[in-house]
Each structure stands twice: as C-alpha cells, then as structure tokens.
Amino acid sequence: MPWNLRRLLAGLIVCGTASSPAFAVDVVMGRSTPQSVLDPHYTVQPTGVAIAPDIFDRLVRFRLDLQLEPGLALSWKPVDDLTWELKLRPEVSFHDGSAFDAEDVAASIRRAGSMPESPSPMSVNVGAVDDVDVVDPLTVRIKTTVPTPLLMDQIGQVFIIPSEYAEATTADFNSGKAMIGTGPYKFVSWVPNERVEVARFDGWWGGEPEFEKATMQFITEPSSRVAALLSGQVDVIDAVPPADVQTLEANPDVDVFSIPSVRLLYLHLDLKNDNSPFVTDKNGDPLSTNPLKDARVRKALSLLIDRQAITDRILGGGAAPAGQVAVKGQGGFSESLVPDPFDPERARALLAEAGYPDGFGLTLHCAVDRDVNSPQALQAVAQMFARGGIKVNAVDCQPYSVYSGAATQGKYSVFLWGRNDSVSDVTLNLRNGYMTFDKESGFGSFNRGRYSNPDFDGLVKQALQEFDQEKRYGLLRQASEVMLNDTAVIPVYFLNASWAAREGFSYDANMAVNTGLQYVHYTGNN
Amino acid sequence: MATWLLRRMFQAALVILAMTVLVFVGVNVIGNPVDIMISPDATQEVRQRAIEALGFDQPLWRQYLTFLGNAVTGDIGKSYVFNQPALDVILQRLPATLELAVSALLLSILIGLPLGLLAGFRPDHPTSRAIMAGSIFGFSLPSFWVGLMLIMTFSVYLGWLPSIGRGQTVSVLGIEVSFLTLDGLKHLALPALNLALYQISMVLRLTRAGVRETLHQDFIKFARAKGLRPRRIVFVHVLKNILIPIVTVVGLGFGHTVAFSVVTETVFAWPGMGKLIIDAINVLDRPIIVAYLMMIVVLFVVINLLVDLTYTLLDPRIRLETQE
Amino acid sequence: MTNLTDSAPVRECEPSLFRLFVADFIRSRVALLGLVVFTIIILATVFAPLITPQDPYDLMQLDIMDGRLPPGSSNFDGSTTYILGTDDQGRDMFSGILYGLRTSLIVGVGSALLAALVGTLLGLVAAYVGGRFETFVMRLVDLQLSFPTILTALMILAVLGKSVLNVVLALVIVEWATYARTARAAALAERRRDYIVAAETLAIPSWRILLRHLLPNCLPSLIVVATIQIASAIALEATLSFLGIGVPITEPSLGLLIANGYKYMLAGDYWVSLFPGVALLVVIVSINLVGDHLRDILNPKNKS
C-alpha cells in the first residue's frame, strides 16, 4: 500500500541520514470539517476557514492557550479610544513572490466586511472597524466606531490576501487562482468535499514548514475517521470521538492528544415567560407561574446534576465539569466559581423553600447533530432530575436546523446549548449571551433565556470599553460571578478537544480547537 | 411516440414546478439558514444585515416569485454555503454519485440475477436456501452498520482496500472518473458493494419469485413438453417474463441509489451528491435543495420513461399511457 | 361460521380455506418455524412489561453508573442481572430490545401495510383506468420518489411535531409510491391477458375485476416488495430517529438502539449494537419466511 511504502521509505532515510534535518516527509490528515468554499472571507463557519490558517497568515496568532502572539502584526497599541496602531512584520512575501505590506492589510479587512450575502459573514470580526489608514508600508492605523479593546482578537481572525486580489471573486479562489497567502503552505488542489492538497512554501517567514506535501482528506463520519487512522490511510485525525479515545490510547501504533477546550455545554433556562411552554406541574398540566424565574429553583437544578458522573460515564473522561462560562486560562475566568457539587439534599431544600417541595414537570431539549454525545448527556441529566423529584416529561432532541431557530425564538424551557469562544476572553460571550436583550443597543443578541441584571450589565459595559487587560479581566471576572450566583444558566461541562496521530507524528493539542498542519510534527519513525 | 414524449416533458415541467413550491414552503416552516449558521459573536446588526441581504425578511411568496423570475433566465440561485451557483455545485458532484450508483446497479444485476435464477429453479436445494437466507442480510441490516463492518474487515484488519474517498481519478470528456485506474477501482469497491447490498437482495428475490411463478405456467410446461433445451427455456421464455417487475424495481432502485446514497457516501467519505443534499438540508441551503431536486426529478422522469419503454419492448401487449 | 345470508357459498369456503392455509403452513416446516418465531416475538413484545427486569423507558430506573456494562453483569446491589449488558444510559439491553421491538414493529409493519394499501390501490386503479388519472398518479409518484425522505420527515416534524404516529405518516408518504409503481407495472402486464378481456366482455363490474382478478395476480410481486419494505421501514425509522426526526431518544426503537450503539463498535463494546441487530435480523427473517410462503399460497398461478 502506497502509504505504508512511503512511511517505510521515510524511515529508511531517517536511519541513513540521521543528522540531516531536511527530507521529504508528507502527511495525510483526516479532518472532520469539509471545505465548502475556499474564499477565506466568505464566512466564519468552519466550512469556510478550516484549511485557511495554513495557507493565509493573520495579523496575530493564537497560542495553544488562546492568548495572542504576533503574526503578521509585530505589535499593536491603542493610540486613543477609537484608534489602534499596528506595526507590521517586515520582509514577508506572498506565495506568488510579491511583498506583504500595509495595503494588503487594509484590502483584506475591507474585503472581509464586504460580503453580506453570507449567512455567517466574516463581517462579524470587522464590524467595529470604521476605517483603515495606511501610514507607511509597515504601519496601519485602524479607526473604530466604538472603543474596541478586543480589536486584535477580532481582526486577528481575518486572513490576509494580496491587495491585488481585493476584487477577486469566490470563483477565483475556488479555482486556485487567488489562493495566494503568506502562510507556511501553498495551495495545490481542491476536490470539493473530498480533499485539499498543499505543498511547503519555502519562503515562509516563520521558518521551514515541516512537510513537503500535505493532503487534507475530509472524513465527516467519526467512526470512518478513526478507521482510516487505524488502517494507515491517514496519519492524523481531529475530533476523536470520546468513545474511541481509550481504544486508541491502548493501541501501540497511535497516540491521542487531548486538552480541555473552550467548548462549553450548558443548560439554557427560560427566564422570560410567566408560563413557560415546557414547564408543567407533576400531572403534566401547564403551570401558571414559571419556577425557573426563581434563582433558588435554578440553583436546585444545578445541584441535582452529578457532573463528574456525566463526564466520566457519558464522555469517557473526555470532558471536565464546568462551573462557569470561561475556561481556565481565558480572560474572565474566576477561581472562586467552582462547579456546583452534586447535592440532592440541598436541592430538595431549595425547591421546598421556593414553594415546589414536590418538584414540577419539565421537557428538556437539545440538538442531535451538534456536539458529540450531547443527547446522551442530556438524558443523563434527565435521569438525575427525575431522581431529584423533577418529573421529566420528555427529552426531545432535534436536528439543529429545527432546534436552533426554535431555541432562539424562545420556544423551549430548558435546553442544552453548546458555545465556544473564538477570542481570548469572555467579553463577547457575556455581551451577546447574558446582557439584557435590547434591540436598540444590540446587546444580548443571543440571550435566549432573557436573563437580565442591571449590575451585570453595568460591569460588562465597563469591560467593553476597558483597554487595560488586567482591569478588563477583573471586570469580566466580577460579571461572571454576578451572573453565576444568579444561576443565569447551568454550566455542565467543557468538552475536551482530541486529536490522534499514528506513530511518527504528534499533534499540539490547543484550546481553541484549531486543526491545522502547523500543529502537526514529524517525530520520526521509531 | 413523439407526442407521447412531448407530453411527458410537459408533465415533468409541472412536477418540477410543484416540487419547487413544496421546497419553498417546506424549508420555510423548518427555519432559516442565518439562525443555524450565524456566529455566536455576531451582533444583532450583523445578523439583521445577513437576513436582509439573503432576502429572508421578504414574504415567502415574494421570495418565490424572485426565484421563479431568476429561474426563467437559468439562474437557480447561489448556495449559501458554497457561494457558487447551486447547479454548478450539484453538477460537480454528480459524476461521483453516478459512478457509485452505476457500479452498484451492475453489481446488483451481475450478482442478483444469476443467484435468483438458481434459487428459483432449484428452490429446495441447500445452496438456494443459503442464498435466500443470505439475501435477508442485504436489506435488514442498517447500511451504516454494514459499511463500518466492511471497513473494519477489508480496510483495517486485512488492509486490502482503502475506505476513504475516490482515489486517483482520470478525466474523460472533462468528467472525473475513478473506475479507469486501479487505485480508483480499489476505492470504488467497498462503497459500491455497500450500496449494492440492498439492490442485490431485491433483484435476487424478485427473480426467484418470478421464476417460481413462471415455471408453473402453461407455456413453460408446453415448452418443456416440446423438448426445448432448458437453457433456451430459461433465457428466452422465463427471463423475458420475469423482467418486468425487475426492471421496475431496478429502475426505481437506481433512482433511490442516486438520491439516497447519503449513508454510504458519509461512511466512505465519497464526495458525491448524497452527502451534499444531507448537508444542505441540515443548514437549509435552499438553492442547493431546489437544484438537487430538479435534477433528481428529471432523473426519475427519464428512468420512468426508459422503464415504460422497456415494458413495451418486453411485452408488446403493454401500451404507452396515451396510446389508448 | 354459520351461513345465514345469501352469500352463503362464499362463506362456506372460508373454514376450509383456513384449514387449507393451516395445513399448508404445517407442511412447510420452514414457514411454520417462521410463524412460530414471529408469534413468540409478538407475544414477548406485548407482554414485555411482565418479562423484563426493567422498564427501559422509565428514567428513574436507569443509572448512568451502570452504563455500558458487558453481558452478564449485575447492578451495584446485585438485584438485577443484565443478561445482554447495558447501553450508555445504563439501560438493560434485554428490556430495551423487547420494548424497542414494539415501536419498531408498530412503525415498520404499520407504515408498510398502510403504504401498501394506499399505493396498491392507486397503482391498480391507475393501470386499469388509464388516461388522465394514470398520468396524475404516476407524476405524483415521480415527485414523491425524488423527494428526500429526510426532508419529508423534517417538514412533518416542523409542522406536526414529534410522535410515533407522525413517523408512521412520514414513512407512508415516503413508501406508497414504490407500491404504486410496482402494482401498476404488474397490473399493466395482466390487463391485456385473455381472462381480463373475457371478464370485461362478460360485463363484470370494474371493481370486481380489479379486486378479484387484477389484485390477486399482482400479489406475488407486491408481497416480495412488502416483506422487504417492512424491513426497510424499520431501518428507515432507525435512520430518522438517529437524525432526531423519529421516536424520542428516551424511548428507543430497535433501530435507534443499533444506531446509538454504533459508535461503541470500534471501542469493542459490541453488545450495545450487536444484540439489537441480531433481534432485528430474527424478526425480519421470520417475517420473510412467512411472507415467502404466503406469496406461494396466495399466488393463483401456483394452484396445482
């Protein structure tokens, strides 16, 4: 088989010339997300940006722990509340040989904001940008409409293309013509839904990329991905299913690389309706009041959940109990917010105190096709609720296409939701998810449960304008504590992100759940 | 004959029109793609702009009229996911699926028909019983399950066949095919077998049923009495008589195979249309759904047409619908 | 049966026909075996609550701490033995299989029979009447066959909500077309045969020709299709449930049990998926054995 032969040859060369670092090693990656469009500015969905980070560089790079480090921008600082100044990396060239400069940055940011006909536009990252001034070839000033401390996190997501391609169409990218970046790998070919092939770019500013050629094969079905790894058709896979982590770890030919990720699964609670659609009394009849509006009831529900049991049994250890929305290492993480313990006694007492000594009835909702094992986890939560005296009328898991709309329109009462941050702190998460829903200001756009607390709103508003990182993190920490003391939502667990590689390869597990060639290393064929 | 064909075309156009209305209404009751895909970091403003840019703020009838207006000029719309004309996306993936479906069809006839004949002529022979029992596996085990077992056996343990993608393809008249290279054939083997299993059992069982029935009929008894050679009886008299239901089911099955190859394509990471349509449904990518369905309706109409024509060839007593 | 009405001659045949039927089944040992197994399965599912050690649909009786235990394990206090192991929710597989069979049989057999009824009738009438009606039905068939099952089911879910009945409805909508096409094909072949022409010249009412002459002659192909369709309806229901458009996940059907266990196959926890698979296979084999034999009995051309 060709892959084995290649490995063998690579091995022979290693043995023969152990001192020479440069030899042809290829890698085949099995990826869970297919590439649907090559245009790196069309969407922020993974189907649009899965392979882009290896071909295009960005202004910043995200470290394994989510924090920023210089990318194409060497340094950045706020000049005033509405202006940032960026110093760019000199002597960087594109795959076509042209030099990178400030014009390319300006063109890329403008282009990213100009594709409205996308259901998930890149403009989400450049929405605050008012204008981009090119000061000199290696300096740009970015004017924002509102004070934007998190600007680099956001525009740092934008892939930089040569300014000559500012007018390129999606078709130009798909044909490969405009697939010109400054990244470590050059685009070679794309078979839609099947694979992308890239080759080493020798002129990369970051050093010599490790692989001569790389193929990214799209394998959406988890079991098939694992089987492809086991049979040696691919060298590295992402999104290892929790059920298979232990099996793979036991396999001598394969290593697994895991890290707790920013992907949080939590229970959203309907705090808006007085008669919530899926809350009933014990007989299944509608209730005139909504018990979920009572913070004691919410806390009681949280105390009924044995998080450790869920992460151990349902996720095979591939998750960590959660007590807040920020993961450790992320700005806004609070040491004092520990996951609620499993305490049915206290839960019962709280329910009785709130006037529901015998509990009430609930239907729980979730999406089937979103997070691995989340329907199983929700069923486990249902078991625990049932034992705590809550009558679980049903656990209804639906396709995300139906679920997402209904959840956003407030048609559910208690539902399991997954979210991950793409930035280094929780500012945007708190702003969109928990600030009082207000169409005018645009705050709370995804506050599905309609939690509202003026103290919390005040703290987040301050944080949104605070340029000093330490102070901002402090404000976010306080805000998180306010919100979780109210049990605005019930955090359940943070999913682990896992990759697996065959002997001879390793992977840098990262919290942002990025899959890319830059994280793959060749360790030799032992 | 010509008017008959013309009428069929006209009817097909009506079917397509009915289908587009169904899709618009259907997708609209399920939801909209912005809610499904929008980034959780998006502000309300970004969300609202996306909804307006894609026209979801318009009443449904206006969205539909806009679509019809564009469709008349040959523009079915741009996919929300691919940002390409939906028809292009579909056509790009058609060859992969057709290749898989044709291979499965061939397998089902090459395996199903002879085994069915054997089981029909010697119903009590142990081999026949084994064949019939085996055929039950073909349609009773979920195909994702069988697919994984095939991968585990032939790919992981034995290491004989690859399980991912199409492998090396060659371009024939601008269409990429994989059955012309050894590597491509290897890649084709497992998914084609997985997809064909159901069809094989169907063909096998219908053939057997047909043979059993035909053998009792007078003309066969007569032919036997007349001393015709068994081979001639089988290939001329029996086969001709049992082909009608088989052609129907195979014809339908082919359409089904094309339309619903989603499971096989997912398990074997085969870049075809089945995977495409399920993804499109998941994110309510309406232009893709519409374009795909138009294509499938046309395919079914053509298949039915061919099937009906085959009937008249096989049995001249059958009339074409409007020749009454 | 007593013969009181004027249709006495017909009634009189019934007991003897029934006896013939039984005798016929007894003669074919394989078919009898199928019938016996099928009967046992039906009884087991009907009386499932009395046989099973656990109500697998009652969340109170499940404990994830007992999840994915291999066959023969017992729960923490040793009061229950899971002879076929448990799934990831701590659901006893044996209990789950019996309860799941109920749902699968209701959905599979129910939808296949309903679809057969609707489809056969439309197909036969279309073939017999011809003209506009035939065209209309056949184009409806085209439309239906090209419409993805999943989209149909999603639309029903979005409009009518989730229930077992709606799953049956979705499957009927999906499957009637296959019967219609098969019935029409078979009927077209029969339509021009001499005995139908003869019946027509004898001025026998159309409905009688349809039911008494056309239908019996189409039955053999239809039964082949139906026995397979029951199996595929069960499998389709599994796929739909897997995608969240079928039965509730807390009340899994046989197909959903298989689908849920699928992801543990590579990890070596075979029982979660294998035992429901074997159960499904046994059911389908027995249905087929009975179906094959029924086809031979009912086939008017096989009468010797």
Domains of chain C by residue range = 21-45+96-302
Task: Please say whether the beta carbons of A84 and A128 come within 8 A.
Answer: no
How many angstroms separate the CA of residue B219 from the nearest CA in chain C? 12
Pairwise CB contact (< 8 Å): B84 & A43: no
Q: In this complex, which of C155, C185, C235 lies closest to B29 when CB atoms are compared?
A: C155
Is A406 at the interface with chain B, CB within 8 A? Answer: yes
The yes-or-no verdict on residue A525 having pLDDT over 70 is no
Residues of A in contact with B151 (CB under 8 A): 224, 227, 231
d(CA C156, CA C147): 13
Residue B7 lies in a domain: yes
Instruction: Using alpha carbons, select from A166, A240, A246, A209 the residue that is nearest to residue A53.
Output: A209
Pairwise CB contact (< 8 Å): C67 & A314: yes
B contact test, residue of A114, A231, A235, A409 with most B CBs within 10 A? A231
Q: What percent of chain B has pLDDT over 70?
A: 93
Q: What is the pLDDT of residue A34?
A: 87
CB pairs < 8 Å spanning B and C: 157
Q: What is the pLDDT of residue A405?
A: 86
Angle among Cα A224, A499, A226 to the nearest 5 degrees reads 15
Q: Are residues B166 and B204 in the same domain?
A: yes
Mean pLDDT of chain B: 81
Is B166 at the interface with chain C, CB within 8 A? Answer: no
Q: Which two tokens stand for residue A383?
A: 């078991």
CB pairs < 8 Å spanning A and B: 171
Is B217 at the interface with chain C, CB within 8 A? Answer: yes
d(CA A285, CA B312): 62
Residues of A in contact with C68 (CB under 8 A): 313
Classified as helix, coil or strand, A148 is coil
Domain range spanning residue B53? 2-72
Of the listed ranges A251-255, B301-305, C55-59, the least confidently predicted one is: B301-305
In what helix (H) or strand (E) does residue A320 lie, and over which residues does it extend?
strand A319-321
Residue B92 lies in a domain: yes
Quick one: DSSP state of residue A503?
Answer: T
Residue B81 lies in a domain: no
Helix, strand counts (H, E) of chain B = 14, 2
Mean pLDDT of B86-100: 88
In SS3 terms, A37-87 reads as CCCCCCCCCHHHHCCHHHHCCECEEECCCCCEEECCEEEEEEEECCEEEEE
The yes-or-no verdict on residue C233 having pLDDT over 60 is yes
* Nearest C-alpha in C relative to B204: C224
The pLDDT tens digits for B15-27 are 888 888 988 888 8
In what helix (H) or strand (E) does residue C223 lie, and over which residues does it extend?
helix C215-242
* Nearest C-alpha in B relative to A219: B269
C21-45+96-302: what fold?
Answer: MetI-like fold (1.10.3720)
Band (A491; pLDDT cuts 50, 70, 90): very high
How many angstroms separate the CA of residue A391 from the nearest CA in chain C? 10
Task: Please say whether the beta carbons of C124 and C214 come within 8 A.
Answer: yes
Q: Are strands A279-280 and A361-367 parallel, antiparallel or unpaired?
A: antiparallel
- CB neighbours (10 Å) of residue C47? 11
User: Using CB atoms, which chains have 3+ pairs under 8 A with C?
Assistant: A, B
The yes-or-no verdict on residue C11 having pLDDT over 70 is no
Q: What percent of chain A has pLDDT over 70?
A: 95
Residue ranges of E strands in A444-504: 489-502
The pLDDT tens digits for B25-61 are 888 888 888 888 888 888 888 888 888 888 888 888 8
d(CA B158, CA B151): 10
Q: Are residues B93 and B207 in the same domain?
A: yes
Pairwise CB contact (< 8 Å): C248 & A369: no
In what helix (H) or strand (E) does residue A261 lie, and over which residues does it extend?
strand A254-269
Higher-scoring residue by pLDDT: C162, A209: A209
How many angstroms separate the CA of residue A33 from the nearest CA in chain C? 18
Classified as helix, coil or strand, B255 is helix
Q: Which two tokens stand for residue A512?
A: 């942002």
pTM of the entire predicted model? 0.86
Q: What is the pLDDT of residue A468?
A: 92
d(CA A165, CA B52): 27
Is C148 at the interface with chain A, CB within 8 A? Answer: no
Mean pLDDT of chain A: 89
Q: Are residues B163 and B102 in the same domain?
A: yes
Of the listed ranges A277-286, B127-136, C40-49, the least confidently predicted one is: B127-136
Phi and psi for C44 in degrees, rounded to 5? -60, -40
Residues of C in contact with A374 (CB under 8 A): none
Q: What percent of chain B has pLDDT over 90?
A: 4
Q: Are residues B182 and B114 in the same domain?
A: yes
Q: Are residues B107 and B208 in the same domain?
A: yes
Higher-scoring residue by pLDDT: B304, A296: A296
Mean pLDDT of A105-133: 89
- The domain that holds B270 is classified in CATH as 1.10.3720.10
Most confident of A263-267, A407-411, C196-200, C272-276: A263-267
Of the listed ranges A70-84, A474-488, C26-40, C193-207, the least confidently predicted one is: C193-207
Which residues 6+ apart lie within 8 Å of A233 measured at CB? A3, A28, A30, A217, B155, B162, B163, B164
Is B183 at the interface with chain C, CB within 8 A? Answer: no
Higher-scoring residue by pLDDT: B262, A3: B262
d(CA A286, CA A281): 6
Pairwise CB contact (< 8 Å): C267 & A246: yes
Mean pLDDT of chain C: 80
Residues of C in contact with B240 (CB under 8 A): none
The pLDDT tens digits for A393-445 are 989 988 888 898 888 888 999 999 998 887 888 999 999 999 999 888 888 88
Higher-scoring residue by pLDDT: A3, C232: C232
The pLDDT tens digits for A161-198 are 999 999 998 889 988 899 999 999 999 999 888 899 99
Phi and psi for A94 in degrees, rounded to 5? -80, 170
Q: Are residues B280 and B143 in the same domain?
A: yes
Q: In this complex, which of B30, B43, B49 lies closest to A402 when CB atoms are compared?
A: B30
In what helix (H) or strand (E) does residue B119 lie, and over which residues does it extend?
helix B86-121
**Cα A90 to chain centroid, rounded:** 31
Q: Going from the N-terminus, what domains does chain A have, and what CATH number goes with each? A: 3-218 (3.40.190.10), 261-496 (3.10.105.10)
In terms of Cβ atoms closer than 10 Å to its own Cβ (0-12, 13-18, 19+), residue A441 is middle
Mean pLDDT of B312-316: 71
Task: Please say whether the beta carbons of A455 and A415 come within 8 A.
Answer: no
Q: What is the pLDDT of residue B170?
A: 76
Q: Which two tokens stand for residue B64?
A: 């539909």
Q: Which two tokens stand for residue B280?
A: 């499109």
DSSP string, B121-136: HSTTSHHHHHHHHHHH
Pairwise CB contact (< 8 Å): C267 & A223: no
Is B273 at the interface with chain C, CB within 8 A? Answer: no
Residue B152 lies in a domain: yes
Mean pLDDT of A301-318: 92
The yes-or-no verdict on residue B177 having pLDDT over 90 is no
Mean pLDDT of C294-299: 72
Is A380 at the interface with chain C, CB within 8 A? Answer: yes
d(CA C26, CA A15): 74
Structural domain total, chain B: 2
Strand partners, C82: C73
In what helix (H) or strand (E) does residue A139 lie, and over which residues does it extend?
strand A139-144
User: Using CB atoms, which chains have 3+ pairs under 8 A with B?
Assistant: A, C
The yes-or-no verdict on residue C218 having pLDDT over 70 is yes
As a 3-state breakdown, chain A gives helix, strand, coil percent values, each rounded to 5, of 30, 25, 45
The pLDDT tens digits for C104-113 are 888 888 998 8
Q: In this complex, which of A244, A310, A313 lies closest to C266 when CB atoms are compared?
A: A244
Task: Please say whether the beta carbons of A229 and A499 come within 8 A.
Answer: no
Pairwise CB contact (< 8 Å): B321 & C262: no
Which residues 6+ apart lie within 8 Å of B132 measured at CB? B119, B204, B205, B208, C292
Is A223 at the interface with chain C, CB within 8 A? Answer: yes
Q: Are residues B65 and B93 in the same domain?
A: no
Q: What is the pLDDT of residue C299?
A: 66
Q: What is the pLDDT of residue A502?
A: 94
Residues of B in contact with C285 (CB under 8 A): 133, 136, 140
Of the listed ranges A358-362, A467-471, C254-258, the least confidently predicted one is: C254-258
Residue type, A486: D
Q: Are residues B250 and B189 in the same domain?
A: yes
How many angstroms separate the CA of residue C61 from the nearest CA in chain B? 29
Helices within C161-211 (DSSP H only)? 164-191, 194-201, 206-208
Residue B10 lies in a domain: yes
Q: What is the pLDDT of residue B14?
A: 86
Q: What is the dihedral of CA B136, B139, B142, B146, to 10 degrees?
A: 70
Residue type, A465: Q
Q: Are residues B245 and B120 in the same domain?
A: yes
The pLDDT tens digits for A214-271 are 999 999 888 899 999 999 999 999 999 988 888 899 999 999 999 988 899 999 999 9
The pLDDT tens digits for A42-96 are 988 888 888 999 999 999 998 888 888 999 999 999 999 999 999 999 999 999 9
d(CA A224, CA C64): 27
Pairwise CB contact (< 8 Å): B300 & C145: yes
Q: In this complex, which of B15, B244, B324 lies closest to C189 when CB atoms are compared?
A: B244
Instruction: Using alpha carbons, select from A446, A278, A301 the residue that is nearest to residue C162.
Output: A278
The yes-or-no verdict on residue A18 having pLDDT over 60 is no
Q: What is the pLDDT of residue A11?
A: 39
The yes-or-no verdict on residue A6 having pLDDT over 70 is no
How many angstroms separate the CA of residue A274 from the nearest CA in chain C? 23
Angle among Cα B280, B282, B285 to the nearest 5 degrees reads 35
Band (C17; pLDDT cuts 50, 70, 90): low
Q: What percent of chain A has pLDDT over 90?
A: 65
Mean pLDDT of C253-277: 86
Residue B79 lies in a domain: no
How many angstroms separate the CA of residue A142 from the nearest CA in chain C? 46
d(CA A203, CA A193): 29
Is A247 at the interface with chain C, CB within 8 A? Answer: yes
Band (A212; pLDDT cuts 50, 70, 90): very high
Is C163 at the interface with chain A, CB within 8 A? Answer: no
